[in-house]
Amino acid sequence: MLNTVIDFEVFVKFCCSRPKQVPEGTHEENEIWISFWRFLKSDSNVVITNYNETDLNNPQNLFLNNLTQRSNISTCHFGKLNHHNFYLPKYQNIHTVYFINESDVKNQTKFRKNNGFFFSFNDEYIDKWKELSFSENSVLHDRKSAEVKNRFSWERFSDYLLPFTDVIVRDNFIFKDINHIQDKFGKLIECFNKATKVKYNLLIIFNKSNLDIAFGNNIADVYKYLEHNKIFDPNRLNLGLVHTSKEHDRFMFFNYVEVDIGKFPDDSHRPTKLTFFPFSDQNNFSNAEPILSDFSDIVEEGEKNKETYGYIRNRLLSVTNEKVVK
């Protein structure tokens, strides 16, 4: 499940903002508020930072007790968030989201510029929660089911993506036709670059029997072709390639969401179906773990057989071995 670092002041604001019941409040307000509370209570490991003792009669104490005394597999404890010059902890678990007490607009901009993690500030946490959970009330249409069945556009796909530091693309046919690499794979890279502000790790896993004949069976030639034709910028991302003989469905994995791909996205009139599975739902996260574990085995086998090239130390391959802020 995701890890959540939430500043106590933001937590207090959330507790005190519980909407009134219908008909004084709306169904939408209540559903969104309850869904965020459910996430904190059951679907996330929570660290509350900058905790201050408060009057026992304050409403947040009821919620604090509920969080700290829960008996399910998730946890809640108190800690502090150390950041230097608006950089979030470098070795933090990449499946961590942040709700930060920062109201200065200039400082918020610095956070956004320096980090590839998902975070929110004081007055935007509910809107950001809608994005993280792909709720039906977020910027696009119903992102909870999130099936894009109409004509595909790269701009639309980019709008769906959350910030990230690492991404894995699993596609057997991604380099099958050299004539389409610039148009298809290049546009995918542009989409990724737009979605995150920082340099990121990109791992491509593909079937070695489906390479364009121009590459022969040489994975290094694929990398050099992409580099020579400036399809990716090494200053913008660390690219790793992995050959495999294993068949697999098409996937994209990011820090906070899995994307299942019906076929490789393009601008044709044929509909492209992309299904989004946000990790804010712990069931989605649990379902992703065995797939990522299989990818880790593929990379390990590829290293032994010299079927890898470039930067392959993608942090999504180790979904449970990183530290949580304490």
Domains of the chain: 2-133 (no CATH), 154-317 (3.30.870)
Whole-number Cα distances in Å, 150 to 145, 262, 268, 270, 271: 14, 13, 11, 8, 5
Distance between CA atoms of residues 93 and 91, nearest Å: 6
pLDDT of residue 183: 81
Our CA angle for 303, 236, 317, nearest 5°, is 35
pLDDT of 264 reads 60
Query: Roughly what angle, to the nearest 10 degrees, separates helices 125-133 and 8-15?
Result: 90
Strands (E), 145-256: 166-170, 200-207, 237-244, 251-253
Query: What integer pLDDT is reported at residue 263 of this predicted model?
Result: 61
d(CA 25, CA 20): 5
pLDDT at 22: 84
CA distance linking residue 220 with residue 308, whole number of Å: 8
Q: Is the peptide bond before 234 cis (omega within 30 degrees of 0)?
A: no
According to the model, what pLDDT value does residue 95 have? 95
Please report the pLDDT score of residue 118 as a whole number: 95
pLDDT at 194: 92
User: Which residues of the chain carry a pLDDT beneath 50?
Assistant: 137-146, 148-150, 271, 320-326
- The per-residue pLDDT for 70 is 58
Q: How far is CA 226 from the centre of its chain?
A: 25
Q: At 234, is the secondary structure helix, strand, or coil?
A: coil
Per-residue DSSP letters for 245-303? ------EEE-SSEEEEESS---SSSS---EEEEETTSHHHHHHHHHHHHHHHHHHHHHH
